[in-house]
Structure 1
Amino acid sequence: MAVGRRLAGLLWAGDVVLIEGDLGAGKTTLVAGLAEGLGVDEPITSPTFILMRTYPGLLSLTHADVYRLETLAEVEDLELTAAAADGVLAVEWGTAIEQWMPDSHLVVRLTVEDDERRLVELEPHGSWSTRALQEVQQ
């Protein structure tokens, strides 16, 4: 959750964060940290069955889970980038739809090292390549 809080301080309106990791790797926990850092007061739950939920905060946070989506039409029906145009979009299992996301986005990969530790890898694309990611990696 601490990584999510720190990452939230670097986010701008319109940013897209695609989150990858095995089941139980901490994707929703990372989004909860983003939410806390963005001033969201509501508890964050996985949107696996509702697909997408938007939370108000300093910047709105749209949290999506695309694990069950199979076609471009299903992705387009969600209108993910439009839903988050004035806020931040965080997508669990997001690399499955990466080709349909804006060129500028951040991929966060979570790998379970043990019950208490996760390896967090950041993969910047577009303008993220020149942003202050070293602050998050400290």
Structure 2
Amino acid sequence: MESRRYALRTIAVAALGGIAGCQGLAGQGSTNDEVDIRAGPRGHLEYDPEELTVSVGDTVVWGFPSENHNVCCVPADSDLADLPAGTEPFASYGDGEPLETVESGETYEHTFDVPGTYVYVCTPHEGAGMTGTVEVRDPAE
């Protein structure tokens, strides 16, 4: 009888621990439910998803679940960054600070008003291939 109680208690503790662990891990690796793209998820040098398609006027939110990443769509700061002609470059950092990164848990957002393909990079990790693409479509077309 004692061994049965012990077994039941062990199962109950394990189940509660598993539930608590799931709740504790739910926020790990994500900033919130409102992000469209994660920069450096699980500590990887990537954006997730790497490609995203949105409509003109949509706002894209990048979340930063890990440290030392940014968003750069400024051709003057990266040879890999590219955007449609006539559009304004954007970045998660201030002018002239391409190695400035976003704090873990923070977000950056940008509203896309011009259709086309936007290629952005994480400037500290562009050499490792940390790039992403946002395809902006005009729903009227």
| TM-score normalised according to structure 2 size | 0.29
Q: Which has the larger radius of gyration?
A: 2
| TM-score normalised according to structure 1 size | 0.30
